Amino acid sequence: MTDPSRSAPSAFERALAHLLRPFAKVEAAEAITAGLLTLTVFLLLTAYYLLKTAREPLILLHGGAEVKQYAAAGQALLMAIVVNAYSALARRVGRVVSRVMGGLGVRNALLVLPAVAFLEYGSYLVAPILSIFTVAKVGESSLEYSLQNTARQALFLVGSRIEKYIGKTVVDTFIVRAGDALTALVVLAGSRAAISPRAFAAFNLLLVALWIVAVFAIGRENARRSGEGEERIALEPLPS
């Protein structure tokens, strides 16, 4: 189904769709999304085969073929344990996150992680104790991959088809990774400039403050779109 608000496909989209058609039926409007997904899978598989190729000689060199067989069996056993444990944890965390989302709403749920980060870096400026900061960082990472990720995905529920299928793919595959790369560059530059940990914490506090302002703006837009969606549903005729 074509989105009436979308303009005609560009020449680049048509050319990309033509390149992908020997492998699958791809329309020009879907070409960018399909191309990004294809590139992501290609990079993942390439990384896996490179790591596997480098791992096998190391095992054979230090332990021989017998250790290689034991290592394969150990990996399978470990994978079975980890998958089952993660499934049980994911079910429990998922129930907790759904209750929190229902009670707080999308905007307030998005504010939880920056609030924790602000307290984390603020406490480090007051009392720079590494053990306390490490525990707080673990909690921050847990919130990021549970509540924050769920709230971020919920933002796309009120988006257009283009935002859901193209914008979300670009954010998940490019914007997030670009942010990771930018973080690494900032840390590298700060290390080269011999910036102190407290200066890093103060800089992060500034970024978190900007983050909170952005969340309020996103929350207002999400509330506006949610209201428009409810009005549209209310105006639809009831089925006879």
In this predicted structure, what is the pLDDT of residue 214? 92
Does residue 112 lie within any of the structural domains? yes
In this predicted structure, what is the pLDDT of residue 210? 94
Does residue 76 lie within any of the structural domains? no
CA dist., res. 94 & res. 8, Å (int): 40
Q: Which residues of the chain, if any, have pLDDT below 70?
A: 1-7, 59-60, 62-68, 90, 93-94, 96-97, 229-240
Instruction: Report CA torsion sign: 143, 147, 150, 156.
Output: negative
Domain membership of residue 113 as a residue range: 105-231
Does residue 78 lie within any of the structural domains? no
Residue 109's CB is within 10 A of a number of other CB atoms, namely 23
Residue 46, class by beta-carbon neighbours within 10 Å (0-12 exposed, 13-18 middle, 19+ buried)?
A: exposed
- Name the domain count of the chain: 1
Q: Is the pTM of this model over 0.75?
A: no
Does residue 153 lie within any of the structural domains? yes
Does residue 152 lie within any of the structural domains? yes
In this predicted structure, what is the pLDDT of residue 2? 47
Q: 18-64 pLDDT, tens per residue? A: 887 777 777 888 888 888 888 888 888 888 778 777 777 776 676 66
Does residue 129 lie within any of the structural domains? yes
Cα angle value 76/78/81 (rounded, 5°): 110
Cα separation values, 16 from 22, 42, 98, Å: 11, 16, 39
Does residue 99 lie within any of the structural domains? no
In this predicted structure, what is the pLDDT of residue 69? 72
In terms of residues, how long is the chain? 240
Per-residue tokens: 173: 């595959």
In this predicted structure, what is the pLDDT of residue 236? 52
Half-sphere exposure at residue 238, Cβ-oriented, CA atoms within 13 angstroms: 1
Does residue 114 lie within any of the structural domains? yes
